[in-house]
Structure 1
Amino acid sequence: MRYLIPSVSALALSATLLGSVAFAQDEEESVTLYRIFVGDHKDSKVTAFDLSKPEKRWTFDTVGQNKLYSVNDGASVVAVQSDNNAVNFINSGISLHSHGDHSDIEITDPSAVEKALTGPRPFHVIDHDGKIVINFDKGGYNDIIDAHELTDGEIESTRLKQARAHHGFAAPVGKGWVTTVASDAPVEGDTAPTRVGLRAVKEDGTPTGEVATCTGIHGEAFSGAFFAAGCKEGILTVTASAGGPVTKMLTYPSDLPSGETTGTLLGAKSMQVFLGNYGAKGLVVVDPADEPHFHYVELPFRRVDFALDPANARFGYVLTEDGTLHQIDVLGGKISKSAKVTEPYSMDGHWNDPRPRIAMAGDDIVMSDPNAGMVRRISKTELKEIATIKVEGKPYNIAVAGGSGKVHEHADGEAQDHDGHAHAHSHGDPQIYKGYFEDSQVKDRPLSDYAGDWQSVYPYLKDGTLDPVWKHKAEKGTSSVEDIRAEYEVGYKTDVNRITIEGDAVTFYKEGQPSKGTYAYDGKEILTYKKGNRGVRFIFKKTEGDASAPQFIQFSDHGIAPNKADHYHLYWGKDRAALLNEVTNWPTYYPSSLKPEQIVTEMKAH
């Protein structure tokens, strides 16, 4: 599998923004906060607490046992009560607002959303592209909620109807939708319709394509450009296209244990890869783009629960019934370390018997321990217990909200945002920087975002100044120093060593000779790269100036909304459309005021 970082994202922000400390402040008032939500196995309630200050509690009453989902970047928590035909919503009190290359995080107390959804047996929840989608198994429909409206406490759902009621799901893919399909009648000996495949539909459920076979379809996730679901035959992948969703079956290879299937999938954000269950004692790593598509990981005991690390998707974590927590090397397809963390929990009995559930909170793993009546906080690097948090009843399902940022102090000493609300400020959203964002987040940008005097970094590559950067990247990744330098030799190559931007005037200096033009905004284009992540080009067209000045210039700086660039990659030429296909040569510019050693430091820090 491949990291979802194109060559132009060489300066991607470090995932270490998500630290293990649940709440910490440094001299610049940076803060990291994780909030834990725990559903009880028996009592109809959800308990919430901050990981750093678990003594402060919030309790939310529901009507039944809760399956919890953290949605909309943790801004909301969905509490599904399948046996009680109800869905409740909680505002987590931690809300991330992206502004391109930085994010604001508002921090308040969590609160219950007044309105709930009711319907026959709600179950699967999908969170994607600003939509929260809940399947009602015995109703034959999905309710679709706008994630941003939910954050504001509003629940106005639209309905996607299915041909017949069944245990399934619906999901947005590009500009279209897909939904599971069930047979007209149950197979002999079964009491429910048999799930047979996936079909492209309109948002109201009207079919737009044929059924793609996927027997017993169950379990779904997004990663990069792919949506995937588990089937009896293999893993069915779905990608967006101008003509609608496109499906492809990845058949289980013969070297996987026979007779097993995948019914639960987790999708990584920083790599294009899925981690799924495969039988009671196995996991399977699924690369949807490249062969071999499957890597099997055999476990020593039956699996209880598993999770992917959103901050470093190279690793997953799985708890087995002997009470051991294992770190899974996703790239290597193997167990990398193991440690005993709780007493055994047998997988014999009912699937919903009280057993531990795990979730990630920065550098920590949080694990419910129903029999012990606590939540355990475990270091993901050492697999050692950091603390235990007593929770009344039988803590069971668990969800996490939170992240890191910087608090901006005003004259009155109170941290506030522009509307007077307390908030933290994060200089850079790692997922946006890596190319993961929703279309609705992309905003037009002015040329003033790129104003200043800029120097090319290509001369520093040629004279060896950037050699420490290549070494640093090689130590962090899987490529050699030589391969990395060769990639950037092509990427940085240019004979324009300086660019100045003032007002609407852009001047290019080639061998010291200026070439000047005035430019007007010509729109933006969202690009999807081969590896599955995306980028935005902000385009300007020449209105007048020297004939040698390019007709079009296209900026890419990993930002997607107005904000001052600290560096950028620039594409230029006569053909607007042709430039969009250029992804190997991306001349890169840093402020001319920076010394070479400062540029090296900047590059190594990202």
Structure 2
Amino acid sequence: MKPVWMPAAAAALALALSANASAEEMTAWRLFIADQESARVIVLDAIAGEPVETFEVESPAALYRSESGRVVFARQGEAGLVTAISSGISFDDHGDHGDIDVEAPKLTGTEIAGDKPSHFVEHDGVFAAFFDGEGVARIVSEKAVLEGGSQFREVKTDVPHHGVAVAYGSHVLLSEPNRENPDELPVGIRVVDEAGAQVGDVHACPDLHGEASSGDILAFACATGLLVVTHEGGMPQIRHLPYADSLPDGKSTTLAGGRGLQYFLGNYGADEVVLIDPMESDAFRLIELPTRRVHFAVDPIRARFAYVFTEDGQLHQVDVIKGGIANSLGLTGPYSMDGHWSDPRPRIAVAGDNIYVTDPLNGVVHSVAAASFQKAGEIAVEGKPYNIVAVGGSGEAHEGEEAHDDHDHAHDHDADQIYKGYFEDDQIRERALSDWEGDWQSVYPYLQDGTLDPVMEHKAQTGDKTAAEYEAYYEVGYKTDVERIVIDGDTVTFFNNGQPLRARYASDGYEILTYKKGNRGVRFIFEKTEGDEAAPQYIQFSDHKIAPADADHYHLYWGDDRAALLEEVTNWPTYYPSSLSAEDIVDEMMAH
């Protein structure tokens, strides 16, 4: 049944009233859908199945969502424009819970203009739009986009070509054009610094097309394999992963990065896809499809699964762990892959408990229940619904701006007290290893090279030690030979002089410690279940938080004796995200 249209403000109000006005759990999911023929982006409430808003743009668009879900970008190739839309859904982390704010979606005011916009890539909250007709990448942060900013950093290549750029910390990874024939695909990746100067040699990647991130790894698809990019020592490290000899002739030209599990899903030939784990010796697993592939997407919520739609109208559930098709569901009529590449064909997005598939020839969006993999319904959409992205999630909703402000102040006070080690036992909650997921760097080298001297001086201004005494204190506290730690799912990798030790860990509860000053701390403990023999049997996290929340930094204790580790209170190796620069870490430390 076709839904009744309502103004955006009314839709937002209806959504808000679906939750109790007090602080109660609220779930909101929105689908952003671009029409295949008309220059418009339609926003649907995925839960109610009702329209929220329609945005008129300049030409039919391809859609991209930011990692945070706060922004959706409409890339309009014919119009030479990328338009930013605020999704209206955002989350605020309060340590023991997350708040959800739901507002009407709106244009942010940010537009990125240029000749032939093509690849649009986000990395760590920074977006790079590449314009083929100019050979130029225009780069902007999510923060600037949400503020309606129109100032962009530009990075230029030598000639116009169908290229790509990725902002990678203080560097940019930039496609190298085929100089003999710029109309052909790029031949490699070069690294440039903040001044735009090339760093090192060009990394060969013939017929470069397709890129994605998964965990701490970025990958580019080439005719010969993948370029795999990791972050080490403040520089992107790039290696070539050749296709396995066991694979048939072919290549990937589109990649999707796994969430929760670190892997890539790529096309490979017309009727196959390939699962790629760059950290395994047997990195490639080929999956045959019953007919030619139309579209595929990973499940960001149920990490084990991905989905492939084929031209016979079937949606297939791929089990990433087993490396095969787990379920198939007939969903639409046939969509032949013959014809133009931009002909209207189904696209996939995942929102909460459902998978959504556009059906442009029939003007509907199909909903499939992820748990049962059965049809859950459909939403009628005028025109030819084509590209689709989903944003949303669950959190606590609060009544009124004034009440929300009071709540924020109360939580600021509570969080400050908890950070200092004053809390009640009933405030503590079990935590999962995912709270510390990511790529982390030790701060010990920064203490040794003098980078943290301003921090020591800052502490001395209000503390009971001199700057030199603080430095000696932290010399003992921060000391470690593990310069980097990567946490992905239940796997922890320790790097000592670049050499990895890897193991899997499971929760072993938590312990409360009382310190001499009378304040307390909580150690969240994980025990090794399998992995390298030399990897520690136990790891214990302390990050000044006592309930589920993403860590911004942490102190880590490790060893083979659980009880003995709890006695260690003088050496606490400390880790901050590897994406932070030395200056960022200094700023973070001085803020506490």
1:203-352 pair list within 5 angstroms: 203-242=194-233, 244-258=235-249, 260-352=250-342
Gaps of 5+ in 2: 1-14, 410-428, 442-454, 456-488, 492-502, 523-533, 555-561, 577-592
- Aligned residue number for residue 119 of structure 2: 124
Higher relative contact order (CA 8 A, sep 6+): 1
Q: 1:291/1:411 Cα in 2 relative to 1: closer, same or farther (>3 Å)?
A: closer
Q: 1:331/1:91 Cα in 2 relative to 1: closer, same or farther (>3 Å)?
A: same
Q: Please state how far the C-alpha of 1:94 moved relative to its aligned partner.
A: 0.4
Question: Could you say what secondary structure the match of 2:145 adopts?
Answer: helix
1:591-606 pair list within 5 angstroms: none
1:351-390 pair list within 5 angstroms: 351-390=341-380
1:86-101 pair list within 5 angstroms: 86-100=81-95
- Aligned residue number for residue 447 of structure 1: none
- Aligned residue number for residue 39 of structure 2: 44
Inter-partner Cα distance in structure 1 for 2:385 and 2:74 = 14
Question: Could you say what secondary structure the match of 2:227 adopts?
Answer: strand
1:124-168 Cα shifts (integer Å, max 9, x gaps): 111121201111111111111111221233332111222222112
Is 1:500 equivalent to 2:514 in the alignment?
A: yes
**Identical amino acids, percent of aligned pairs:** 35
**Equivalent in 431, 434, 437 of residue 435 of structure 1:** 437
Q: 1:336/1:72 Cα in 2 relative to 1: closer, same or farther (>3 Å)?
A: closer
Q: 1:156/1:97 Cα in 2 relative to 1: closer, same or farther (>3 Å)?
A: farther
1:106-121 pair list within 5 angstroms: 106-121=101-116
Q: 1:227/1:507 Cα in 2 relative to 1: closer, same or farther (>3 Å)?
A: closer
Gaps of 5+ in 1: 1-20, 420-426, 445-475, 479-485, 509-529, 541-553, 582-606
Question: Could you say what secondary structure the match of 2:361 adopts?
Answer: helix
Is 1:169 equivalent to 2:159 in the alignment?
A: no
Q: Please state how far the C-alpha of 1:38 moved relative to its aligned partner.
A: 0.7
Q: 1:154/1:417 Cα in 2 relative to 1: closer, same or farther (>3 Å)?
A: farther
Is 1:59 equivalent to 2:73 in the alignment?
A: no
Whether the aligned pair in 2 keeps the contact of 1:161 and 1:204 (CA below 8 Å) is: no
Q: 1:506/1:304 Cα in 2 relative to 1: closer, same or farther (>3 Å)?
A: closer
Whether the aligned pair in 2 keeps the contact of 1:101 and 1:433 (CA below 8 Å) is: no
1:511-522 pair list within 5 angstroms: none
TM-score, normalisation: structure 1: 0.68
Give the letter aligned to residue 560 of structure 1.
A
Inter-partner Cα distance in structure 2 for 1:570 and 1:230 = 46
Inter-partner Cα distance in structure 2 for 1:402 and 1:247 = 34
Inter-partner Cα distance in structure 1 for 2:107 and 2:432 = 29
Is 1:84 equivalent to 2:79 in the alignment?
A: yes
Q: 1:505/1:241 Cα in 2 relative to 1: closer, same or farther (>3 Å)?
A: same
Q: 1:284/1:414 Cα in 2 relative to 1: closer, same or farther (>3 Å)?
A: same
Q: 1:498/1:93 Cα in 2 relative to 1: closer, same or farther (>3 Å)?
A: closer
Is 1:31 equivalent to 2:22 in the alignment?
A: no
Whether the aligned pair in 2 keeps the contact of 1:409 and 1:416 (CA below 8 Å) is: no
Inter-partner Cα distance in structure 2 for 1:416 and 1:319 = 48
Number of corresponding residues: 463
Whether the aligned pair in 2 keeps the contact of 1:236 and 1:248 (CA below 8 Å) is: yes
Question: Could you say what secondary structure the match of 1:240 adopts?
Answer: strand
RMSD of aligned Cα (Å): 4.1
Q: 1:78/1:203 Cα in 2 relative to 1: closer, same or farther (>3 Å)?
A: farther
Q: Please state how far the C-alpha of 1:315 moved relative to its aligned partner.
A: 0.4
Question: Could you say what secondary structure the match of 2:187 adopts?
Answer: strand
1:168-207 pair list within 5 angstroms: 168-186=163-181, 192-207=183-198
- Aligned residue number for residue 7 of structure 2: none
Give the letter aligned to residue 258 of structure 2.
A
Give the letter aligned to residue 551 of structure 2.
I
